[in-house]
Amino acid sequence: MHVAILGATGAVGRTFLEVLEQRNFPVAELTLLASERSVGKVIEWRGRKITVRAPEPGCFRGVDVALFSAGGARSLEWAPRAAEEGAIVVDNSSAWRMDPEVPLVVPEVNPDAAANRPKGIIANPNCSTIQVVVALKALENASPLKNVVMTTFQSVSGAGETGKAALDRELRGETGDTPFSRTIAGNVIPQIGKFDGEGWTEEELKMVYEPRKILSLPKLDLAPTCVRVPVEIGHSVEMMVEQERPLSRDEAIEALSAMPGIVVSAAAEKFPTPLEVAGRDEVFVGRIRRDIHRPNVLHLWVVADNLRKGAATNAVQIAGLLG
Amino acid sequence: MHVAILGATGAVGRTFLEVLEQRNFPVAELTLLASERSVGKVIEWRGRKITVRAPEPGCFRGVDVALFSAGGARSLEWAPRAAEEGAIVVDNSSAWRMDPEVPLVVPEVNPDAAANRPKGIIANPNCSTIQVVVALKALENASPLKNVVMTTFQSVSGAGETGKAALDRELRGETGDTPFSRTIAGNVIPQIGKFDGEGWTEEELKMVYEPRKILSLPKLDLAPTCVRVPVEIGHSVEMMVEQERPLSRDEAIEALSAMPGIVVSAAAEKFPTPLEVAGRDEVFVGRIRRDIHRPNVLHLWVVADNLRKGAATNAVQIAGLLG
């Protein structure tokens, strides 16, 4: 396959390169694209030296799959052109996710959706959404979902290389550019994206609308709160899930364990943490427990590497469906 | 007043000294007590030099109020003796909190309870519980509470000086003693206290049973998840509150603002963070918003200094009720 990456020098772009190599993706040719700032950089991949170029008309001709992670504006500009030039675009930005003609795919959950892509574009969901829907699908398989409350602990790499650099700098006691509205070192910030008029953030609204589309549950009641924490890589989500039929703790563990891509920690003290799962491709679930009051409510703690399963790995898995 | 402090050299003990001074508490005499390890240390307070002693029989004679923050075992041993010797004990450990003969007091919420203390002991609630019940009482005043879901982001100082030292050391790349079950620097740990057989932690169970007692709502449905984060001082809690009657966002802001001890950030982008409220005595509430699906459900973000309002300030406020 001829693979192109747009945004090859960003936090997710670099992870695309790692994941393509580690998963032994059948790459015959690799085109690396990025913004002007990175043009001319030479990136070594599997012994090849590849020079980063700027995207230009015609550059997607002959490309089979184009993996995009260069922000919404560049996706809006280049995804339709890439599709027109014959590439299938797997886009990591939020630009196309809610377009009814663009499938939003998590391969463990709705792989069939990838086949129906009238625009030649497939959207990769929001990082927190991906790990959450894998767990929700597993539980939905055992008993229909009624209501989901989620609080996220999201790492700085979710804001790209500038997010990582800002935390590093602050930990060294230095100041400089930051994508965050407050100091993140030694702090937590309950804001990811802009606020709407009702007080909800963009990230929270993504976690309402994207799971509904992926799970084909357009009325699912979801209540997310998204918080940035001073962790480099790995998002954690506390989830409270109300279901039609009560599941015992053992039934919940069984349902989650049956789902491909999930690693379950059944013992309470074996819970996953972001520092431990960074670099891994799976979704890690622990602290599975029944609510104290309501038998049909479960709590769980869900952790994944936001650059891998939350972005690059999921996109490469989607590319793998196209075969 | 003759005030004694047991645990004077710990994280909360030092904060007792700051709070007594800053609030101009009428201290005629001050006795500082701590474990053997700290005996002989000289602490300066308001120009006086006070030598730390070990507690011994008779040392509470003549003491009006004894502020305890030396752990459960020392409280179980010394609180009854101190009471017998005539002191009123305000105890910051969890040892006495659920004793039906010991009032559990947050002065903004249930000040009258402090008067009924058959054992001469008043318990200071868990740090996260205190900030949560102040907000819950404000909302309960406007419409009865039905159901509360909470996720905490708790600072390392909640584990005392050893918690702060462990984070500092890890941030410098060094290893050593830690009260945490995993690395806390650059990580989040969904465990505070031991697990019970159902997968709940001690801290979470405190946040179920203590608010019920303080609010006199013995059947209140509370679902907490407690998480340690790499923040030095200040606990944050995301709360979802279901009430009998729906409150508009404005009504919720009004109810919260009417409560003494609460500082409300009405504008979404003015949310409080722990780094900003450390050193303050109030409970800070922001991100007040109505649930997207359910009109009688509110979300809020509640932050307080766990060493001050979550411990020392609340205890000194209780002492102030005894007058």
The CATH number that applies at residue B73 is 3.40.50.720
Query: Model confidence over A58-105: pLDDT tens digits?
Result: 999 999 999 999 999 999 999 999 999 999 999 999 999 999 999 999
Q: Are A45 and A31 in contact (CB under 8 A)?
A: no
Q: What percent of chain A has pLDDT over 70?
A: 100
Residue found under tokens 């819970």: A271
Q: pTM of the entire structure? A: 0.96
Average pLDDT over residues A98-123: 98
Please check whether residues A152 and A179 belong to one and the same domain. Answer: yes
Residue A99, min C-alpha distance to chain B (Å): 21
Q: Dig out the tokens for A7 from the structure.
A: 């945004």
Q: Examine the pLDDT at A323 and tell me if it is beyond 80.
A: no
B181 inside 8 A of chain A by CB: yes
Structural domain harbouring B117 = 2-124+311-321
Whether residues B59 and B155 share a domain: the answer is: no
**What one-letter code names the amino acid at B207?**
M
Query: Which pLDDT tens digit goes with each residue over A134-169?
Result: 999 999 999 999 999 999 999 999 999 999 999 999
Cβ contact (<8 Å) for A187 and B221? Answer: no
Same domain as A160, residue A48: no
Q: Tokens standing for B311?
A: 């411990």
* Nearest-neighbour CA in chain A from B73: distance (Å): 25
DSSP-derived letter for residue B246 is -
Which chain A residues are Cβ-neighbours of B171 within 8 angstroms? Answer: 171
Q: In total, how many domains does chain A have? A: 2
Is B292 at the interface with chain A, CB within 8 A? yes
Q: Is A209 on the interface with B (CB under 8 A)?
A: no
Reference B287, options B260, B256, B242, B310; nearest CA is B256
Assign A50 a pLDDT band (cuts: 50, 70, 90). very high
Q: Is the pLDDT of residue A46 over 80?
A: yes
B68 class by beta-carbon count within 10 Å (0-12 exposed, 13-18 middle, 19+ buried): buried
Task: Using DSSP bridges, classify how beta strands B2-6 and B65-68 pair: parallel, antiparallel or unpaired.
Answer: parallel
Mean pLDDT of A178-190: 98
Distance (Å, whole) CA B4 – CA B62 = 10
Among all residues of A, which ones are annotated catalytic?
Answer: 127, 235
- Taking CB atoms and an 8 Å cutoff, what residues of chain A touch B249? 198-199
In chain A, what residues touch B225 (CB-CB under 8 Å)? 151, 238, 287, 299, 301
Report the C-alpha gap between B245 and B251 in whole angstroms: 11
Residue A309 is classified by DSSP as: I
pLDDT band at A230 (very low <50, low <70, confident <90, very high): very high
Q: Cβ of B292 and A200 within 8 Å?
A: yes
In angstroms, what CA-CA distances link A112 with A128, A215, A318, A322? 21, 12, 10, 10
Reported confidence tier of residue A211, pLDDT bands at 50, 70, 90: very high
Same-domain pairing of B205 and B268: yes
3-state secondary structure of A310: helix
Six-digit token pair at A77?
Answer: 């500009």
Active site residue B59: no
- pLDDT-flagged residues of chain B (< 70): 323
Answer whether A230 touches B (CB < 8 Å): yes
d(CA B316, CA B323): 11
Q: Which residues of A touch B276 (CB under 8 A)?
A: 182
| Among chain B residues, CA nearest to A226 | B238
Is the CB of A146 inside 8 Å of chain B's CB atoms?
Answer: no
The CA distance from B314 to B318, in Å, is 6
- Tokens coding B59: 């040392």
B87 secondary structure, DSSP code: P
pLDDT confidence of residue A64: 98
Same domain, B270 and B317: no
Same domain flag for B199 and B176? yes
**pLDDT for A199 beyond 80:** yes
Cα dihedral sign for A228, B12, B173, B202? negative
Mean pLDDT for all residues in chain A: 97
Specify whether the backbone of A310 is left (phi greater than 0), alpha (psi in -120 to 50) or beta: alpha
Question: Same structural domain for residues A292 and A316?
Answer: no
> Is the domain of A209 the same as that of A141?
yes
Look up residue B81 and give its two tokens. Answer: 């003796």
Sign of CA dihedral A96, A100, A103, A109: positive
pLDDT digits (tens, 9 = 90+) for B292-306: 999 999 999 999 999
Q: Cβ–Cβ of B268/A181 closer than 8 Å?
A: no
**b/e B189-227 (16+ beta carbons within 10 angstroms → b):** bbbbeebeeebbbbbbbbbbbbbbbbbebeebbbbbbbb
CA B224/CA B247 separation, integer angstroms: 22
What's the token pair of residue A306? 């936001």
Among residues B2, B127, B226, B299, which one is catalytic? B127
- How many pairs of residues across A and B have Cβ atoms under 8 Å apart? 137
DSSP A137: H
DSSP tag of B322: -
Q: Quick check: A212 contacting B, CB < 8 Å?
A: no
Catalytic, out of B59, B235, B293, B299: B235
At B73-119, the pLDDT tens digits run 999 999 999 999 999 999 999 999 999 999 999 999 999 999 999 99
- A199·B171 Cβ contact <8 A: no
Is A219 in the same domain as A281?
yes
CA distance A93 to chain B (A): 24
Among chain B residues, the shortest Cα distance to A167 is held by B186
Q: Phi then psi for A138, rounded to 5 degrees?
A: -60, -45
Same domain, B277 and B174: yes
* Same structural domain, A200 and A232: yes
Strands (E), A136-279: 145-154, 221-228, 235-243, 262-264
Q: CA distances (Å), A267 to each of A34, A103, A261, B100, B195, in order?
A: 44, 37, 19, 34, 10
- Average pLDDT of span A293-297: 97
> CATH number for the domain including A145?
3.30.360.10
| Closest approach of B204 to chain A, Cα-based (Å) | 11
User: Is residue A266 a contact partner of residue A251, using CB atoms and an 8 Å limit?
Assistant: no
B155 & B298 share domain: yes
Question: Which residues partner with A264 through β-bridges?
Answer: A285
